[in-house]
Structure 1
Amino acid sequence: MKNIQIKEPAAAEIPAPRGEGARAAWILAMGTFAVGTDAFIVSAFLPRMAEGLSVTEAMAGQSVSAFALAYALLAPVIATATSTVARRKLLVWSLALLGAFNLASALCTSLSALILTRIAAAAAAAAYTPNAGAVAAALAHPARRARALSVVIGGLTVATALGVPLGHVVSAVMDWRASLALVGIISLAAAAAVFAVMPAMPGGARIGLRQRLSVLKRPGVMRILPLTVLGMAACYAPYAFTIRILETLRIPAASLTVMLFVYGLGAFAGNYASGRATDRRGPVPVLVFAYGAMAIALGGLAGLAAAGEGSGFYFAAALIACWGASSWAQTPAQQHRLIAAAPQEAPLVIALNASGIYLGISAGTGIGSLAVGQGVPALLGTGSALALASLGYIAMTGAARRKAAASGAPEPG
């Protein structure tokens, strides 16, 4: 998620030394890598985890939904509660707790205990990511601020391309518990690095939760945010069950990690290309193209799964890469639209969009948990249908906006 520039508004305005900006950005990226890996890694070993906990894959998928939903709901609450806490202290403690809760997840012997530790880990992640972006912006020279943010948030994208495949390798060589323990170790190492490198920085002014959420009253914001939830639900309905999908497509076991890496490369490329295309063509055409490509990719994979025959490695890889690219192409365009709708509250709407992303991941995983019982083709078909619904939402809201403009009425919110 290279372009998710989630910032704590007050922290971004704190005077701070400028000379440490570049080094600090890379250290902070280590933390976002840990957060991103933690958020998405379960898809790399869901079948093994379900077997280890003696539950179905659909039930084990609830741990993904729990993490994403907790992040979405707790992020604004935690930002409000911690707005005055010193930044280095907050960053170090959030990473330390993320590490501790992942180690606790690795020791769980029941699904209920695992879900509780995943919720706790999500709370720690929600405390870290927005403040990492804020601190990176505060430490960087103004002329290098965008690059510092891209480095920090780029850790999330690298997590998809490298962290998830690495988690699959570790779970195959050892077990799924070792993968979660690895995330815990990375988090603790990042906490130590942040403590060693980051300068002391004070907290910001207290901003109430009501003030943070007041931006939802702005015209257009509540028209745009539901698309974030719907679009992310579309691509993440099948994502937690990626290993089962690849096995149904008869991808050799030795190539599963390669396919996870292909998805991550597609995600990285889609995110980057979307940012450039949004600047040149505008956000709506980019979104239309992304959801159309997503519907085709997931629909094509559904067809291959239904055929029940080997699909050809390279053809399947192309569809997997398209799935990843279209999934992560949404965010830059949606951020662009939200900032245009509320330019004076850009940090707040971007943070709310991040909550919408995780809410969509939670909803999508829940929908996928229901659909997977009907088979992999139905699971992928559900994702494709949700992508088409996203296209329909764009058309519907666009028509309403044009009608309001023609009549001289206020834009629908």
Structure 2
Amino acid sequence: MALGTFAVGTDAFVLAAFLPSMAAGLRVSQAAAGQAITVFAIAYALLAPVVATLTARLERRTLLVGALGVLALANLGSALSPSLSVLLVTRVLAAVGAAAYTPNAGAVGAALVRPEQRARALAVVIGGLTVATALGVPLGGVASHWLGWRSALALVAALCLLAGVGVAAIMPRLPGNPRVPLRDRLAALRRPGVLAVLPLTVLGMAACYTVYAYAVPTLHAVGVPTADGTLMLFLYGLGAVLGNLLAGVVTDRWGAVRLLTGAYVAMGGSLALLGGIAAHGGGAELAVGLLVLLWGGSSWSQTPPQQHRLIAAAPSEAPLLVSLNSSAIYLGISAGTGLGGLALAHGPAAAYGLGAVLAVVAMAFLTVTGRGRKG
């Protein structure tokens, strides 16, 4: 499962690594090119429940391999796009493949272990996404630097095909699930436990993606030379991997609410400090690197406890709730990317500041809705 989510994560996040060169190649602004990330995220958020409904009865391995095949075709189309409009269409197609893969991978991973190990299993599956931020995105930036952004996207297409072969060879065949009408799926949004979780997912992901989607220009503003941008993306990804893995263990032992509280404090603090450094024209690269590491760790420690809270609220509806959480993740990414593009017009410090404010709002929402809850 993690092998496939690594491919999906690389596809979803790699554009941030070469956004300036892609914008130049398509003759558009960086803020306009960043909408390719926004369109992908919006399409994913809207299509995930629909795709889950239409594919519910499909055998799981067939579904996951097919989804990775769609991702491969979409990335090849992105690599060949002659204009931003064509690129946006291919990103919507990529969102279809991602919407079919990620929620089902998480649900299958959780179903294969005992309840007391569920959070750790989810962390392993989501670990593919975090490893993608640690390795896939920086390597995509390196490939773009030496081969061009189109070749980098072609390599992502090849990675999706390779992951599909791996899933087909290793994953056991598993039956599909009963088809749940879309109306019933959306009815889960009215559950009190779900209402306490999904908006927080949106807020938390919006906070970290306000800046991450524009990582190259915002890191340059805090004194990171262009040549060291890949190293900083690697540090963010390393923090994401460590944060995700620790989140599974901490959630199982001490509860999701405590873990999330610490994550939002760390996220808001790191983004605020980076914003201050940007406002003063840059700072020591070591200090920036440590803050980027903390930012990555706090960002990707959110998902395992959030999924754990949803599944604990309604264990019998785990696939549905994981799918809705995935929609919320990408809705947050789209909101953060869109708001970040607007804030970037006022300078990188404004983008960092907006991310910090959103992290504080997320913590306040958790304080109100999570009061008295340990899980």
* Counterpart residue number, 1:205: 178
The CA deviation string for residues 159-196 of structure 1, in whole angstroms up to 9 with x for no partner, is: 11110111010011111111111110111222233344
Maintained 8 Å contact 1:218/1:342: no
How many Å apart are 1:97 and its aligned residue?
1.4
Letter in 2 for 1:354: S
Instruction: Structure 1: state its 5+ residue gaps.
Output: 1-27, 403-413
Separation (CA, whole Å) in 1 of partners of 2:131 and 2:35: 24
How many Å apart are 1:207 and its aligned residue?
2.0
Maintained 8 Å contact 2:126/2:244: no
Q: Secondary structure at the match of 2:197?
A: helix
* Counterpart residue number, 1:171: 144
- How do 1:335-354 and structure 2 match up within 5 A? 335-354=307-326
Separation (CA, whole Å) in 2 of partners of 1:149 and 1:289: 20
* Counterpart residue number, 1:14: none
Within the alignment, does 1:73 sit opposite 2:8 as a pair? no
Maintained 8 Å contact 1:293/1:323: yes
Of 38, 53, 57, 2:26 maps to 53
- How do 1:252-271 and structure 2 match up within 5 A? 252-271=225-244
The CA deviation string for residues 287-316 of structure 1, in whole angstroms up to 9 with x for no partner, is: 22211111111111111111114x111100
* Counterpart residue number, 2:363: 391
* Counterpart residue number, 1:288: 261
* Counterpart residue number, 1:192: 165
Percent of paired sites with the same residue: 56
Separation (CA, whole Å) in 1 of partners of 2:128 and 2:246: 17
Of 338, 347, 355, 1:375 maps to 347
- How do 1:32-47 and structure 2 match up within 5 A? 32-47=5-20
65-74 or 329-338, which deviates more: 329-338
Instruction: Structure 2: state its 5+ residue gaps.
Output: none
How many Å apart are 1:346 and its aligned residue?
3.2
How many Å apart are 1:243 and its aligned residue?
0.7
286-295 or 53-62, which deviates more: 286-295
The CA deviation string for residues 245-291 of structure 1, in whole angstroms up to 9 with x for no partner, is: 12122212332111111001111111222233333333222222211
How many Å apart are 1:75 and its aligned residue?
1.0
Q: Secondary structure at the match of 1:55?
A: coil
Within the alignment, does 1:228 sit opposite 2:201 as a pair? yes
Separation (CA, whole Å) in 1 of partners of 2:107 and 2:189: 21
Separation (CA, whole Å) in 2 of partners of 1:318 and 1:114: 35
* Counterpart residue number, 1:10: none
Separation (CA, whole Å) in 2 of partners of 1:294 and 1:193: 35
Aligned in 2, Cα 1:322/1:124: closer, same or farther, shift over 3 Å? Answer: same
Separation (CA, whole Å) in 2 of partners of 1:141 and 1:279: 13
* Counterpart residue number, 2:211: 238
Aligned in 2, Cα 1:296/1:189: closer, same or farther, shift over 3 Å? Answer: same
| Larger Cα-atom Rg | 1
Aligned in 2, Cα 1:220/1:198: closer, same or farther, shift over 3 Å? Answer: closer
How many Å apart are 1:200 and its aligned residue?
4.9
How many Å apart are 1:135 and its aligned residue?
5.0
- TM-score normalized by structure 2? 0.92
84-93 or 94-103, which deviates more: 84-93
Letter in 1 for 2:318: A
Letter in 2 for 1:352: L
Letter in 2 for 1:192: V
Maintained 8 Å contact 1:215/1:342: no
- TM-score normalized by structure 1? 0.84
Aligned in 2, Cα 1:52/1:137: closer, same or farther, shift over 3 Å? Answer: same
Maintained 8 Å contact 2:123/2:247: no
Aligned in 2, Cα 1:263/1:211: closer, same or farther, shift over 3 Å? Answer: same
- How do 1:74-113 and structure 2 match up within 5 A? 74-113=47-86
Within the alignment, does 1:162 sit opposite 2:127 as a pair? no
The CA deviation string for residues 297-347 of structure 1, in whole angstroms up to 9 with x for no partner, is: 1111111111114x1111000110111011112223322333343344333
* Counterpart residue number, 2:2: 29
Separation (CA, whole Å) in 2 of partners of 1:283 and 1:197: 32
Letter in 2 for 1:186: L
Separation (CA, whole Å) in 2 of partners of 1:277 and 1:90: 32
Of 83, 94, 99, 1:121 maps to 94
85-94 or 363-372, which deviates more: 85-94
Maintained 8 Å contact 1:270/1:325: yes
* Counterpart residue number, 1:356: 328
Maintained 8 Å contact 2:52/2:323: no
Maintained 8 Å contact 2:60/2:174: yes
Maintained 8 Å contact 1:270/1:329: yes
How many Å apart are 1:61 and its aligned residue?
0.8
Separation (CA, whole Å) in 2 of partners of 1:335 and 1:142: 16
* Counterpart residue number, 1:153: 126
Separation (CA, whole Å) in 2 of partners of 1:193 and 1:222: 37
Aligned in 2, Cα 1:308/1:188: closer, same or farther, shift over 3 Å? Answer: same
